[in-house]
Amino acid sequence: MTATTDGSTGAAAARPLSPPKPPQGYGGAGAALLSAESDAGPARGDGLAAQAERAARLAADNLLARQDAQGWWKGDLETNVTMDAEDLLLREFLGIRDRRTTEEAAGFVRSQQRTDGTWATFHGGPGDLSTTVEAYVALRLAGDAPDEPHMARASAWVRERGGIASTRIFTRIWLALFGWWRWEDLPELPPEIIYFPKWFPLNIYDFACWARQTIVPLTVVSAKRPVRARPFPLDELHRDPSLPAPPQRMAAWASWDGVFQRLDRAMHAYRRVASVPLRRAALRSAARWIVERQENDGCWGGIQPPAVYSLIALHLLGYDLDHPVMRAGLESLDRFTVRYEGSSGEGGASGEETGARRMVEACQSPVWDTCLATIALADAGLPPDHPALLKAADWMLGEQVVRPGDWSVRRPRLQPGGWAFEFHNDNYPDTDDTAEVVLALRRVRHRDQARVDTAVRRAVRWTLGMQSGNGAWGAFDADNDSPFPNRLPFCDFGEVIDPPSADVTAHVVEMLADEGHRDDPRVRRGVEWLLAEQEVSGAWFGRWGVNYVYGTGAVVPALVAAGLPVAHPAIRRAVGWLESVQNEDGGWGEDLRSYLPEREWAGRGTSTASQTGWALLALLAAGERESLAVEQGISWLAHNQREDGSWDEPHFTGTGFPWDFSINYHLYRMVFPLTALGRYLHGSGGAGLGRQDAG
C-alpha cells in the first residue's frame, strides 16, 4: 500500500508505508553514524550500548531516507474522520462533490469504524457522539443505506445517547447547512464582533489564532443561515429537525454560565433589530479580514477547519467557485489529502475490503518535523556538516517569518522573526517551533554561519518579546488568556484561548539558555513559573503532547539547561514520578484519558516509542543514565524496533485540544526515540553542538 499526497508546490511528496529506500548520495551515513566512541558511553562490548547503537543506526537510516529533496521532513498527521466527513459535506454544499472523492473518503471512514458501530477521536478511545454522527452522514452521502448492519449499529448507538440534539455545536452547524437542524436552535454569533475594539471583552483577538480564524467566517455563516436541499432525511438519528429544540435549562444569574446563556439570548434578539447597513458593513469587513489572511498557497493559517469555513463564508458573500480566492482555497485543501492505494485487507466494521482511500489531514507539520528530525540525527552522532543537515538548515532558514502577523496586535513594536508549523503560515508563527528550530540550527555546521547567526538573533528577540505577563509563553500569542471566550455557548469544543503552557515554556527556556540567556531576568521568570507549575506528583501537564509524560519530558531538560542542579527537589520529584509510572515492559505510555478530570490515566497507557523517548530525555537530563529505569527504557526501544528502523505506533500521542482533538504525528515514533538513543550514547548535553563546532 502506498500513501501519496496530492499537489505539488509546498505539498508533501509520496511517502511509502513500507520500509523506505536507503538514502542516496550520503556516503554511507548509516555505517559512519555513531562510529566514534562517546566519553559518556561504556565500552563498545557492553550489550545494552551495542543494542542502542544498532537501533540508532537503523532509525537514522530510516529517517534520512524520508527526507525530501528540498531538505524537509513531513510525516502524516492523523486525526479523526470528522476531517473527512466535513470535507465531503463542504463539497456537497458547494456542489462539487464527485464520485471518486466520495468513494475514497467513504472507504477511509468505513475503515475507522469500531465494532460497536461508533467512531472514536483517537486509537483505542471510546466512541464519540459527534464524530459518529458526522461519519454516519458522510457514509449516507456515499450511498450507504441506513439498514446496512454497520449503519444500523451506528444509528442505534447515536439514539441511545440522545441523538443529534446531544451533539456539539459545530456538528449541528454542519447539519443546519442542509436543514437537518434549525439555525434558530444554535447559538448566535453576530458578524458585528469584527468591530469590537481590542480592549473590549470578547473581541476576536481574545480568541486563540485557530479559533479566531474559524469564528470570523462562522459569523458570516450564522448571519446568512443558508440551507441547502437535504439529500436524504436523518430520522434514524433520533431527532426530527423540524421540531423545536428542547428548552435550554438556564443557569443561575450569579454564575458565568448563566450570564453567557442570557447573552446568547440577547444576541438572538439583536438579530431581529440589527441595523441592515451595519450588518452589511460588518459582513464586508469580515470578508476583507478573511481574504487578507489567506496564505500564498490558498489556505488559511495552514490548517483545514478555518479554510473550510472561510470558503463557505466567502461563497455566501458572492465569491463564485472560479474566483481566484476560492480556487486557491479549494486547491489548498487538495494538498491536505493523503491517498492510500491498494487493499487494506479486512476493512472496517462494515466488513468490506477497502480499495483506494483518502485521508484528510487537519494540517501539515513540515517545520516541526524538520527541526525535530535535525535534532534527532545530530544528537545521534550525524556529523554537523552532513549534507542532510545542511539541506534541512537551508530549508528552515528560508521558512523564517519576517513580516508581522496577528501576534503583533498585542506586540505592535516587536520585530518578526519566528517560525510557523506548516509550509505556508506567515500570519501565525509560534514560539514552540521557533525554539526548536533554533536548537536545530545550532546543531549544524553551516557554510554561512553569519546567516544562521542573523536568523537566530532575530528569533531570540521575537521570542523574548512574546513572553506573557506571568513570565511564561503561549504558543501563538502573548497574554491570550481571557476567561471569557471559553464561556460562550458557541465554544463547546476544544480550547479557544492560548494561555502559556509548561511544554512550550520549557522549549523556549531551553533555547534561550542555550543561546547564553540563562541569567536573563526574563528567563529566570520563566524558570520560576515552571517550578510553580509542577504537579504534586512531580509531573508537568503537557498541553501539546500526551500528556504528563510529554510535559515532564520537556521541562526537566529545560530546567537543567537553565542551570538547576540535578539534585534540585523539583528534578528529583520528576524522576520519582517517571520511575513510578514506567510500565513493566520497560517503556512508557499515557492514554489521552489523562486529560479527563479524574486523572487516573496520568502516566498510564500502552508503551509507545515517542512517549518512551520523552521519559528517557527527562531521565537522561536528570543524570539518570546508569539507572535501571533508563536501561529498561533503552532496552524497550531496541527490542520493539522494526527491522526497517521504525517503530509501530498506532496510539495518538499529540494534542490539538486536550481530550477533544488528538493527533498521531507519524514522525514522532522516529524522532523522539532516536534523540533519546543518541543522548544515551553521547550524553544529554546535545544543545549547541553545531554552534560550538562552527567556530
Domains annotated for the chain, with CATH where assigned, are 2-77+363-482+494-694 (1.50.10.20), 80-360 (1.50.10.20)
Find the mean pLDDT for residues 621-635: 97
Cβ within 8 Å of residue 21, ≥6 positions away: 65
- Cα end-to-end span (Å), the chain: 47
- The closest alpha carbon to 362, from 305, 294, 422, 423, belongs to 305
CB of 665 within 8 A of CB of 365? yes
Is residue 8's pLDDT more than 70? no
Residue found under cell 489572511:
293
Q: Which listed residue (87, 297, 432, 591) is catalytic?
A: 432
37, 671, 689, 44: which is closest to 369 by C-alpha? 671
Question: What is the rounded distance in angstroms from the CA atom of residue 153 to the CA atom of residue 349?
Answer: 10
CB 382 within 8 A of CB 33: yes
Rounded to an integer, what distance in angstroms lies between the CA atom of residue 67 and that of residue 183? Answer: 47
CA distance 185 to 168: 12
> What is d(CA 432, CA 419) in angstroms, rounded to the nearest whole number?
9
In the structure grid, which three cell numbers stand for residue 437, read together?
528550530
Q: Which whole-number Å values give the CA distances from 522 to 369, 465, 477, 485, 611, in the listed order?
A: 28, 10, 17, 28, 30
Which residue carries 524558570 as its cell?
A: 527
- Quick check: 246 pLDDT over 90? no
State the DSSP H helix or E strand holding residue 262, giving kind and residue range, or none if neither: helix 256-273
Q: Over range 317-332, report the average pLDDT.
A: 96
| Residue 90, SS3 per DSSP | helix
Q: Tell me, rounded to whole angstroms, the distance of Cα 271 from its chain centroid.
A: 36
- Please confirm, yes or no, whether 84 is among the known catalytic residues: no
C-beta of residue 161 within 8 angstroms of C-beta of residue 223 = no
Query: If you average pLDDT over residues 205-231, what whole number do you get?
Result: 95
Give the distance from CA 19 to its chain's centroid: 25
Distances (CA, A) of 143 to 26, 39, 304, 360: 50, 64, 25, 20
Cα angle vertex 191, ends 185, 197, to 5°? 130
CA atoms within 13 A on the CB side of 570: 20
The answer to whether the CB of 586 falls within 8 A of the CB of 632 is yes
Q: What's the DSSP call for residue 656?
A: E
pLDDT at position 507 is 98
Q: H or E segment at 5?
A: strand 2-5
Neighbours of 650 (CB within 10 A): 12
pLDDT in tens, 395-419: 999 999 999 999 999 999 999 999 9
What pLDDT, in 10s, does the model give residues 28-70? 444 445 443 334 443 334 699 999 999 999 999 999 999 999 9
Look at strands 337-341 and 357-360 and give their pairing.
antiparallel
Give the mean pLDDT of 119-137: 97
pLDDT at 27 over 70: no
Q: Are the CB atoms for 19 and 371 separated by under 8 Å?
A: no
Question: In the predicted model, what is the mean pLDDT of the chain?
Answer: 88
CA-CA-CA-CA torsion sign (381, 13, 398, 79): negative
Q: Nearest Cα to 463, choosing from 393, 517, 519?
A: 517
pLDDT for residue 675 is more than 90? yes
CA within 13 Å, CB half, 285: 15
Q: Does the pLDDT at position 347 exceed 80?
A: no
Dist CA 695 CA 690 (whole Å): 9
Looking at the predicted structure, is the pLDDT value of residue 377 above 70? yes
* Entry pTM: 0.90
Q: How many CB atoms lie within 10 A of CB 394?
A: 17
Please say if the pLDDT value at position 681 is more than 80. Answer: yes
pLDDT bracket for residue 484 (50, 70, 90)? confident
Q: How far apart are the C-alpha atoms of 452 and 470, rounded to whole Å?
A: 31
Q: Provide the percentage of residues in the chain whose pLDDT is more than 90.
A: 79
Query: Strand runs (DSSP E) across 618-693, as ranges?
Result: 654-657, 661-665
Whether 614 contacts 549, CB under 8 Å: yes
Contact of 558 with 511, CB cutoff 8 Å:
no
How many Å is the maximal CA-CA distance in the chain?
Answer: 82
Q: Does 252 score more than 60 pLDDT?
A: yes
78: which strand partners? 664
Contact 477, 408 (CB under 8 A): no
CA-closest candidate to residue 414, choices 399, 404, 423: 404
Give kind and range of the element (H or E) at residue 337.
Answer: strand 337-341
Tell me what pLDDT residue 489 has.
73
Q: How far apart are CA 389 and CA 445, in angstroms?
A: 9
Return d(Cα 498, Cα 428) in angstroms, integer: 12
Q: How far is CA 593 from CA 178, 297, 397, 540, 599, in A?
A: 34, 36, 38, 16, 7
- Residues 566-598 have pLDDT tens digits of 999 999 999 999 999 999 999 999 999 999 998
Nearest to 357 by CA among 118, 84, 49: 84
What's at 401, amino acid-wise? V
The helix-helix angle for 668-682 and 628-639 (nearest 10°) equals: 130
SS3 of residue 123 by DSSP: coil
Residue 357: its H or E element:
strand 357-360
